[in-house]
Amino acid sequence: MVIRYPNGKFYTPEKNNLKKKQNKDYSYSNRGKTLEDEINETNEYYLQRGTAVIHKKPVPIQVVKVEYPSRSAAVIKEAYYRTASTTDFNGVWQGLHIDFEAKETQNKTSFPLKNIHAHQIDHMMMVHKQKGITFLLVRFSTINRYFLLPYGPLKNAWDTMCQGGRKSIPLEEFETHAFEIAPGAFPSIDYLKAVTKMLAATTA
Amino acid sequence: MVIRYPNGKFYTPEKNNLKKKQNKDYSYSNRGKTLEDEINETNEYYLQRGTAVIHKKPVPIQVVKVEYPSRSAAVIKEAYYRTASTTDFNGVWQGLHIDFEAKETQNKTSFPLKNIHAHQIDHMMMVHKQKGITFLLVRFSTINRYFLLPYGPLKNAWDTMCQGGRKSIPLEEFETHAFEIAPGAFPSIDYLKAVTKMLAATTA
């Protein structure tokens, strides 16, 4: 369809398209929301209903200089982002410790492992040893599919890479070893449903 | 004892005393460390030995302005401290979700409840409902005593205050309902030992 402005000129959409591309994920269903936004909304939904208490951890920031203007709040004037030593989300659900990392990729056929840091895998390994429930939540943004990949297959793929093998996890691997999450409205990403499936599969 | 310097003049300790006072906790055993330092050290000890995976959550900061000098890290030029909506420490230990707040007081006979925020009690209530292990760790810095106060007696004291009652928890209450932690060297505050006692008392 050709859109004409009242002045009769053709509408040139280039500029607008550029903006959309910068927005990264502008498919119909997630409407420009980041995966983090979607998980935060889901966690808020869980919290309000008394389902679970899971929060995103604040980003660690090294504060260098703080000013205290009279009668107002302290203002941080110099600070730097630090690398997180753990995963992004954790909390408790029905007596279970939940601990996970969330990542999105534009890639349609595989998840590049460069998105994960070694210290995050180390952290997940330690949580797993302590009998915490730990996993990776991945959004393939372009094809709008969400997966909960358990620690086991993630660790296998990581070890393979470290031994000089494949640097990404193919989509088929997710279809086989991960638990797919159908995006919804309330909550947007009902990942605890996938955790339930994962636990059932582990104990079966 | 009067201390004389080689020049024969009397030693005037005022200036030095002032510095010690600013340091707040300069008793022999904790040597100016904050309770947070001691817990971080203990958590590091637990982590290194594979005992538990418990971390302090980063302080939430609202970033307003960031600059990106070429060839160097992003510099935060304007930011503000936000109020945390949860407790300070959480993690996993032998399948149990651990979640607690740590506070120190200079008071010798009671712990003032103004040190705790309503939203922290709310958070602890939700964690407790989800079968997480939640408690308050208190250091009476002046008398150098440490207590793990379980959620139950803490909530009772809080509710009493909200109904117009006492605004602090007396030391005797800690001696009766809390679990004392003897400060040591490695780890400095072995609070998981007190958690073990608390769990044994609950299931007994």
Alpha helices (H) in chain B, listed in sequence order: 14-22, 35-48, 118-129, 151-162, 171-177, 191-203
Q: Hey, what are B117's tokens? A: 């925020």
Instruction: Give the list of residues 6+ apart from residue A187 with CB closer than 8 angstroms, or none.
Output: A41, A42, A45, A46
Which of B58, B96, B127 is closest, CB to CB, to A59? B58
- Report, as ranges of residue numbers, the positions in chain B whose pLDDT lies below 70: 1-31, 204
Q: Is A108 exposed, middle or buried (0-12, 13-18, 19+ CB in 10 A)?
A: exposed
Phi-psi map region of A4: left, alpha, beta (phi>0 left; psi -120 to 50 alpha)? beta
For residue A27, name the pLDDT band (cuts at 50, 70, 90).
very low
| Cα separation values, B123 from B38, B116, B129, B195, Å | 24, 12, 10, 19
Q: Tell the burial category of B151 from Cβ atoms under 10 Å away from its Cβ (0-12, 13-18, 19+).
A: buried
**Which residues of chain A are within 8 Å of residue B46 when distances are taken between CB atoms?**
none
pLDDT for the residue numbered B69:
87
CA distance B10 to chain A (A): 39
Q: Which of A3-12, A119-128, B74-83 has the lowest mean pLDDT?
A: A3-12
- Paired residues of A61 in beta bridges: A81
Number of Cβ atoms within 10 Å of the Cβ of A30: 21
- The pLDDT score that the predictor gives to residue A203 is 73
First to last CA, chain A: 54
**Contact call for B55 and A85, based on CB within 8 A:** yes
Mean pLDDT of chain A: 88
pLDDT of residue B85: 84
Q: Is residue A18 pLDDT above 80, yes or no?
A: no
Nearest residue in chain B measured CA to CA from A91:
B97
Q: What residues in chain B have their Cβ under 8 A from chain A's Cβ atoms?
A: 47, 50, 52-53, 55, 57-61, 63, 73-81, 84-86, 90-97, 99, 123, 126-127, 129-132
- Integer Cα distance of B105 and B167 in angstroms: 14
User: Which residues on B lie below 8 Å from A97 (Cβ)?
Assistant: 91-92, 95-97, 132
The pLDDT score that the predictor gives to residue B128 is: 98
Of B61, B78, B99, the CB nearest to A61: B61
- What is the reported pTM? 0.83
C-alpha A190/C-alpha A176 separation (Å) is: 20
Confidence of residue A193 (pLDDT cuts 50, 70, 90): very high
Phi, psi for residue B40 in degrees, rounded to 5: -60, -40
Q: Which of B134, B39, B33 is nearest to B87 (CA)?
A: B134
The dihedrals phi and psi of A62, each to the nearest 5 degrees, come to: -90, 110
Percentage of the residues of chain A whose pLDDT score is greater than 90: 77
Confidence (pLDDT) at B148: 98
- Strands B168-170, A110-112: pairing is unpaired
Task: Quote the Cα angle for A37-A41-A46, to 5°.
Answer: 145
Query: In chain A, which residue's Cα lies nearest the Cα of B47?
Result: A126
- Beta strand extents in B29-171 (DSSP E only): 53-56, 61-67, 75-81, 89-93, 96-105, 110-112, 133-140, 145-150, 168-170
**How far is Cα A124 from Cα A127, in angstroms, rounded to an integer?**
5
User: In this predicted model, what pLDDT tens digit does every residue of A140-155 receive, in sequence order?
Assistant: 999 999 999 999 999 9
Q: What is the pLDDT of residues A32-57, one digit of tens each?
A: 789 999 999 999 999 999 999 999 99
DSSP-derived secondary structure for A142-187: TTTEEEEEEHHHHHHHHHHHHTT--SEEEHHHHHHHSEEE---SSS
Cβ atoms B63, A58 nearer than 8 A: no
Pick from B94, B96, B129: CB nearest A50: B129
Distance (Å) from the alpha carbon of B86 to chain A's nearest alpha carbon: 9
Q: Which one of B57, B74, B96 has the shortest CB-CB distance to A57?
A: B57
Instruction: Give the closest of B52, B57, B130 to A52, CB-based.
Output: B130
